[in-house]
Structure 1
């Protein structure tokens, strides 16, 4: 979860809510030359109108009216979409506001996702489809609806991952595995040591109950969590590992036992 601070330049406008009202407001302001930040708490804009079949009183197709506006808002150079986000704080005075916005992770790179949907076909986890009023299920990795903007998938994570819940000390296995995948070995080891100061030892004696609960086993086999922990702990001793030591302190600490 990231905290994004938006210091709005003169003439900038913050629109909270990406329903049809917020989208139309953003488009009108953007056409007048204002820089618009459109904040929406869901992973895509459109709001309730996207859920409707027809609109009153003309009985026109709802998505036929809405979809072109979503595309225009997503492509407009004066509109910046901030989805999966919430306004936390707003301070200042007229003409000089500063907004603090919490941007929740969607776990999918917006710049790389092509919305092909292959990920959803392979995802073994289902969740209630809130967009369709729980009339069916969808995968944990999903797109809000077919015409959603941004046109990218997101992953809904519910509660504590099974691997982390199974760990006696609740090490963030998903977190350090993702860092190892990206080659960020130092950061991965630092994350492990937040809960486990001796990863090199536990990586060899742990019975790894986390792997017994790994959801990946439903598809093929569990992730080798314990081996990855041992790998990153051993990598610390490699010559190219450049560790910066904290300055020495005038006090010493003695620790008895390594349980």
Structure 2
């Protein structure tokens, strides 16, 4: 009988089921008529399988060449997809052994993780709806220039929206994205869609970390009207800067959050 291992998980087992999963994933092929790059489609296809647990944690992926053959794509496409997954922490490269699905991450709330409001509440089983008031491209303000390091002639995409949890307005959010990283985004349909999910699918961009600041605040006129709260309702004011895996700022937002609809949960572990 083999002794039980302790400490680090084992990554030395060949997992034939992963190859079978890849063959099933490739049954429909990648859409070469789509505007979304092939490597982004491949990355999202693998990520969906990880989320659905058809690719299990610590299972070994097929080789680069095998994935090329399965999906009928070039090595640069496969390498770009796998590199992005590795940068996001979804797969692990082991020298001389291959690439493996990373161990399952612990779930945390959006206030202390890289999830957005939409993704966090949806994952918890809430019905999330969104009303978008503004969605356009414009010249950057002074604060946007500073946050994103943009020249005066640069641009940003701005989104103003209210998120509803089970029909109750929970947050009014003003979002800014650096225009050069999301070309043409203002032409997309984002109704009732997560901003993070949209930029992941369209541009292959994901958030590695975010810095957030919280202060107690009373709602301004815009918040009282769009969130339907009284002027004397105490809210939480949030300012956030999210960064991509290259360390560049990807999203800046300011928000009013109504903790009477959903409390803020912070988990601390040592």
- After TM superposition, the score normalised by the length of structure 1 is 0.28
- After TM superposition, the score normalised by the length of structure 2 is 0.28
Q: Which has the larger radius of gyration?
A: 1
